[in-house]
Amino acid sequence: MNFNTLCVHAGNNPDETGARQIPIHQSTSFIFKSTEHAANLFALKELGYIYSRLTNPTIGALQERMAALEGGVGAVACASGHAAQLTAFHNLLQSGDEFIASKKLYGGSINQFKNSFKQFGWQVKFVDTDDLQAIKDAITDKTKFIFIESIANPAGTISDIEAIANLSHEHGMPLVVDNTVATPYLCKPIEFGADIVINSTTKFISGNGASVGGAIVDAGKFDWAASGNYPLLTTEDPSYHGLNFYGAFEGLAFTFRSIAVGLRDLGAVMAPMNAFITMLGSETLPLRMQQHSANAQKAAEYLAKHSKVEWISYIGLKDSPYADLAKKYLPRGCGAVFTFGIKGGDEAGKALVNNCKLFSHLANIGDSRSLIIHPSSTTHSQLSDEEKANAGATPDVVRVSIGIEDPVDIVADLDQALAGI
What pLDDT, on a 0 to 100 scale, did the predictor assign at position 253?
97
The residues of the chain scoring below 70 in pLDDT are none
Judging by beta carbons within 10 Å of its beta carbon (0-12, 13-18, 19+), is residue 385 exposed, middle or buried?
Answer: exposed
Please check whether the two domains, 3-12+23-281 and 285-419, share a CATH topology: no
What pLDDT, on a 0 to 100 scale, did the predictor assign at position 95?
97
What pLDDT, on a 0 to 100 scale, did the predictor assign at position 345?
86
d(CA 247, CA 267): 25
> With b meaning 16 or more CB within 10 Å and e meaning fewer, what string describes 55-64?
bbbbbbbbbb
Please report, for the chain, the start and end positions of each structural domain, with discontinuous segments joined by +: 3-12+23-281, 285-419
CA neighbor of 258 nearest in space, from 63, 106, 87, 129: 87
d(CA 336, CA 54): 34
Please give the mean pLDDT across all residues of the chain. 95
d(CA 58, CA 234): 30
Count other Cβ atoms within 10 Å, centred on residue 204: 30
Q: Which fold has domain 285-419?
A: Aspartate Aminotransferase, domain 1 (3.90.1150)
What pLDDT, on a 0 to 100 scale, did the predictor assign at position 381?
77
Output the CA angle 199-201-207, nearest 5 degrees: 130
Domain 3-12+23-281, CATH: 3.40.640.10
What pLDDT, on a 0 to 100 scale, did the predictor assign at position 13?
86
Q: What is the pLDDT of residues 167-208, one digit of tens each?
A: 999 999 999 999 999 999 999 999 999 999 999 999 999 999
